[in-house]
Amino acid sequence: MKKYVYLSFLVLLSLMLVGCNNDENVIEFWTPLTGDDGAYMNQLVDDFNEQSDQEIEIKHVITSDMYTKLYTVMNSGSGIPDLTLIHADRVPSFVKQDLLKPMTGVMEAQSNINQENYLAEAWTAGEIDGTQYTIPLDIHGSAMYYNQDLLEKYGVENWLDDDVVTFDEMLSLEGQLEEGDYLVNDALMGWVILAQIQNLDGDIQENGEPAVNTPVMKEAIERVKEITDAGLMTPYGEDGYLMFQSGNVLFSTDGTWSSTGHAQVEGLNFGVTNIYAPSPDNFHNRASAHLFSMLNKEERSEEKEAVIADFLEYIRSHSIEWAEAGQIVASTEVVESPEYDEYMQSFFTKNEAEEESLHIYTYEHYPYIAEAIDTYIADLVHGEMEIDQGLEEMQKFVDDKVKEGTLDVENYEDTGEESEE
């Protein structure tokens, strides 16, 4: 009976979506931008529609469970949106299942939409076997914000001289902090661990198979756990993000987009740098990208595709407005403009070394690995679970997900795995 009700719900949902997507003068554009960034995208869409001389308009549809809905409409073959904004880690599985239409026509219609006009890491995230399936909007990922007043209080401003705070520098403050102060929080800890994997020249797959229970993963967790064991990390279960905004934490390892939230805190004197690393000679920031894509759909007219091309070119040249959302825009024209320097996230594109630090995971089974890490990492870093046990359970978690094939359209079920970016 439960299965029957669930299937009936999916059918109803599909019919509802079909009813919203049958206007030849409307391009349905689905995004997962449920935060403040959704309002910025709304404004960009409105501005484009206002200046366009085409009868066809873009309609921005924000969905909190976008991937659930996408898999549902792709399974049914009806109600498929004309344009979508997906994350980089979805591209390999979508291409493997022949869900994406290449952007060849869009690129032919707008000559400025080409590799040279976008950040390399964002552009290549949508390229599979020489075919471009997406056009990038941004790169977003982990960042480390610092409290300038606390750095001065503890005399460690020099840690930022080379733009990389090392483990050794952090551990040197063991036993030196006043009661109630902490060195670093555990915000987006899964992303911190993924950055350490790259810092240690490791990977999350071996011969195409997901690899979580590995020596490099164990070393990454052990290094971060040293900070916890030294009493320098915010307590388990506490909201370290808010503790940073309250002025009690030197470093907050949250996202590039968080600068907008921190800026609203009166009296918070803060800046941004890279995620901590073993050495300033090898540092990374785990990243992802929002990518424009077109799902395979027979009903999408040539006229609609031409307007989509116009829209993506408009976004490319007007991405300074997207920078207000705290994202690292993908358009090199905007990144290289003086206006972009006013935004805090420009730190991550100020030189070649910073751009190369932005590592986007595009491994096919990355979503499973990220889910496993996020499920277990707090317990492991805070010593609530033995690392070896945790790694075994994480590997089994990922292996089971791969066998279930929940990233495949025909096998998809709503598992609550929506991406958090």
Over residues 104-113, mean pLDDT: 97
Given a cut of 80, is residue 310 above it in pLDDT? yes
Given a cut of 80, is residue 415 above it in pLDDT? no
358, part of any domain: no
pLDDT in tens, 177-211: 999 999 999 999 999 999 999 999 999 999 999 99
What are residue 96's DSSP bridge partners? none
DSSP helix, strand, coil percent of the chain (3-state; round to 5): 50, 20, 35
211, part of any domain: yes
418, part of any domain: no
Is residue 92 domain-shared with residue 127, that is, in the same domain?
yes
Is residue 90 domain-shared with residue 219, that is, in the same domain?
no
The predicted pLDDT at position 22 comes to 56
The predicted pLDDT at position 298 comes to 86
What is the four-CA torsion angle of 80, 85, 88, 94, rounded to 10 degrees?
10
Is residue 260 domain-shared with residue 376, that is, in the same domain?
yes
Residue linked to tokens 């308009």: 57
Domain interval for residue 246: 144-286+364-411
Among 13-17, 143-147, 215-219, the minimum mean pLDDT is found in: 13-17
Is residue 60 domain-shared with residue 187, that is, in the same domain?
no
Given a cut of 70, is residue 145 above it in pLDDT? yes
The identity of residue 65, as a single letter, is: D
What is the four-CA torsion angle of 374, 412, 389, 182, rounded to 10 degrees?
0
Over residues 212-238, mean pLDDT: 98
Confidence class for position 413, pLDDT limits 50, 70, 90: low
Is residue 134 domain-shared with residue 150, that is, in the same domain?
no
Is residue 171 domain-shared with residue 216, that is, in the same domain?
yes
Over residues 230-237, mean pLDDT: 97
152, part of any domain: yes
CB of 252 closer than 8 Å to CB of 241: yes
The predicted pLDDT at position 412 comes to 59
The predicted pLDDT at position 409 comes to 77
What are residue 360's DSSP bridge partners? 287
CATH number at residue 45: 3.40.190.10
Whole-prediction pTM: 0.90
62, part of any domain: yes
Is residue 74 domain-shared with residue 166, that is, in the same domain?
no
pLDDT in tens, 34-60: 988 999 999 999 999 999 999 999 999
234, part of any domain: yes
Is residue 54 domain-shared with residue 190, that is, in the same domain?
no
- CA dist., res. 28 & res. 86, Å (int): 14
**For the chain, what is the domain count?**
2
The predicted pLDDT at position 23 comes to 81
Is residue 257 domain-shared with residue 387, that is, in the same domain?
yes
Among 19-33, 222-236, 320-334, the minimum mean pLDDT is found in: 19-33
281, part of any domain: yes
The predicted pLDDT at position 411 comes to 67
Is residue 327 domain-shared with residue 293, that is, in the same domain?
yes
Proportion of the chain above pLDDT 90, given as a percent: 88
Is residue 176 domain-shared with residue 224, that is, in the same domain?
yes
Q: What is the mean pLDDT of the chain?
A: 92
pLDDT in tens, 55-106: 999 999 999 899 999 999 999 888 999 999 999 999 999 999 999 999 999 9
170, part of any domain: yes
Is residue 396 domain-shared with residue 303, that is, in the same domain?
no
Confidence class for position 258, pLDDT limits 50, 70, 90: very high
- CA dist., res. 339 & res. 341, Å (int): 5
pLDDT in tens, 270-285: 999 999 999 999 999 9
